[in-house]
Amino acid sequence: MAVRIASREFVLAGHAPGAGVWQAGEPGLRITPGGRARTVRRAWLDTFDWRLFRAGLTLELRAPGRPAGRGGRAGAVLVLTGRDGRAVTGEAGPAARPPFLAGALPDGPLRARLAAAAGVRALLPLAEATSVLTEAPALNADGKTVAVVTLDRSELTAPSRAALPARLVIGPLRGYQAEADRLAAALAGAPGVEPAAGSAFETALAAAGRRPGDCSGRADVRLSAGMPAAAAVAVILLSLLDAAEANVPGTLRDLDTEFLHDLRVAVRRTRSVLRAAGAALPPGLADRYRAEFKWLGDLTTPVRDLDVYLLGYPAMAAGLVAAAPADLEPFRERLRQRRARARGRLVRGLRSERFADLAAGWRRDLAGLAGASGGPSAGELAAGQIARAHRRALLLGGSIGPGSPPQALHELRKACKELRYLLEAFASLHDPARQRRAVRELKALQDCLGRFQDAEVQLAVLREIAGQLHADGSAPAAALLAMGEAAGAVAARQAAARGEFAERFAGFASPGGRARIRALTRGAR
């Protein structure tokens, strides 16, 4: 969605303003053209899933026309603006070329603002351009500069090449906003000048055939309750395949941990829908692919588990009391080594013929179901399978007591995931308000179970690596003592999650929660 810029930015009909533009000053204001032109290389950055744009922010990296070496760009600056073009903050550019994480920037307001918006996602160059900028001061009757009028003639250079409309940007100086607004009003009436209907970033994206928010890497489908179940399942599974494939390049490049996470979610949802589809699919189709998607899921698990561990490592180290964070370094190095080996296996798998054949064959077979007819309806399938998954989660959770083993909570966690995936896959068949409430209650239980299971995995890794370090004598005693303290903290977090479970499950299994699921299944039919 294009956002109209505040009346300080304009698009020109031609590549350069006509003489009438420079003469469009208000009484007491005049523009003095003829300033020296400079060339600037520009890159607009955002996360793969557009987190900055969704937060109303635009991040631009500007550098002089000639890039400096293989590292960063000499004189580069990062500028963060709101969607109205007003500056939020800015500072010298990063030492390395993008992509980079917000955490790679120096401490300061820009890093804090970007980290809050982008989280653990990498900032990627989504559009690049070369601009020739010519500045002309706007003077008042006393000869004081009240604003700078910049002529921006740009060419898109990536992801494709295209000429961009010339723009005029009015930059008011501090204390002269009223004069700048009068100048903008005068320019708006000049021939060949129109208020910009979108930012320079949006204009560059449009020239490249893209728009903000056009790719999130997540599945999103619209179904009707009466459509054949086989056709509905094909639509869902094709969307999940699109989401999985969209996240493969970022996973292979290791741009950030969320690419692998979203790839795993797409695979897990695919497996859940395959289990739920039952007789709605042609005989043998689900069986043919079930084992292949299990292979793909198993392939991604080790790296994701280690990613979760490494993402939480800074907090673990900072929480040490008896030991110093540096004492844990041998442990972190082992985690990194393990991740490197697991990532090697993951990359080989994603680049293998087996994965290519799986993706191509799956897409071909699903496309053949697009015109399916007969059999149960999508609403009937959704209602029946959601009710079944809900009953299973209630049964598993209701059987868990104080003495139940960790595996019981893990099985419940898997059942809750399957229920949530089905609720989200068939979300377009449900009342939105009831859907959100049901998912919110389920997510609260899932978060509790997730903290418990993450701690279980982390404790197992801590014990295993501690045993290895002790056996090969490659770590000082201080490292083992620090790992023991860290293990105690993880065990305490697990105990807290275990203590919270009964309350969370009671909320999920309450009469109101059950009634909401029943209402969703009735509505789907």
Question: How many C-beta atoms surround the C-beta of residue 179 within 10 A?
Answer: 20
Say what the pLDDT of residue 246 is: 93
Summarize pLDDT for 309-358 with one digit per residue, the tens: 999 999 999 999 999 999 999 999 999 999 999 999 999 999 999 999 99
Tokens describing residue 448: 């509790």
Summarize pLDDT for 287-313 with one digit per residue, the tens: 889 999 999 999 999 999 999 999 999
CATH number for region 9-207 = 2.40.320
Tokens describing residue 122: 């990498």
Question: How many C-beta atoms surround the C-beta of residue 195 within 10 A?
Answer: 15
Say what the pLDDT of residue 241 is: 95
Say what the pLDDT of residue 16 is: 61
How far is C-alpha 156 from the geometric centre of its chain's CA atoms?
25
Say what the pLDDT of residue 34 is: 73
Say which residue the tokens 């994965």 belong to: 355
Say what the pLDDT of residue 91 is: 76
Longest dimension (CA), the chain: 85
The secondary structure of residue 376, as a DSSP letter, is S
Q: What angle do CA 416, 419, 424 make, to 5 degrees?
A: 125
The DSSP line for 242-288 is HHHHHHHHHHHHT--HHHHHHHHHHHHHHHHHHHHHGGGSPTTHHHH
Kindly report whether the peptide bond that precedes residue 159 is cis, defined as omega within 30 degrees of 0: yes
Say which residue the tokens 């500007």 belong to: 62
Q: How far apart are CA 351 and CA 355, in angstroms?
A: 7
CA distances, 367 to each of 14, 123, 280, 381, 513 (Å): 46, 34, 15, 20, 37
Say what the pLDDT of residue 31 is: 83
Say what the pLDDT of residue 211 is: 87
Please enumerate in sequence order all residues whose Cβ is within 8 A of that of 275, keeping only pairs 6 or more positions apart, or say none: 286, 290, 418
Tokens describing residue 109: 């307001």
* pTM of this structure: 0.87
Say what the pLDDT of residue 8 is: 80
Kindly report whether the peptide bond that precedes residue 99 is cis, defined as omega within 30 degrees of 0: yes
Low-confidence residues of the chain: pLDDT under 70: 1-7, 14-26, 66-74, 84-85, 95, 216-219, 523-525
Q: How far apart are CA 418 and CA 275, in angstroms?
A: 9
Q: Which CATH number fits domain 229-524: 3.90.870.30, 1.40.20.10, 3.40.190.10, 1.10.40.30?
A: 1.40.20.10
Say what the pLDDT of residue 13 is: 78
Say what the pLDDT of residue 67 is: 43
Say what the pLDDT of residue 221 is: 86
Phi/psi class of residue 278: alpha, beta or left (left: φ > 0; alpha: ψ in -120 to 50)? left
Phi/psi class of residue 100: alpha, beta or left (left: φ > 0; alpha: ψ in -120 to 50)? beta
Say what the pLDDT of residue 189 is: 77
CA distances, 129 to each of 25, 44, 62, 155 (Å): 30, 9, 10, 5
The residues spanned by each domain of the chain are 9-207, 229-524
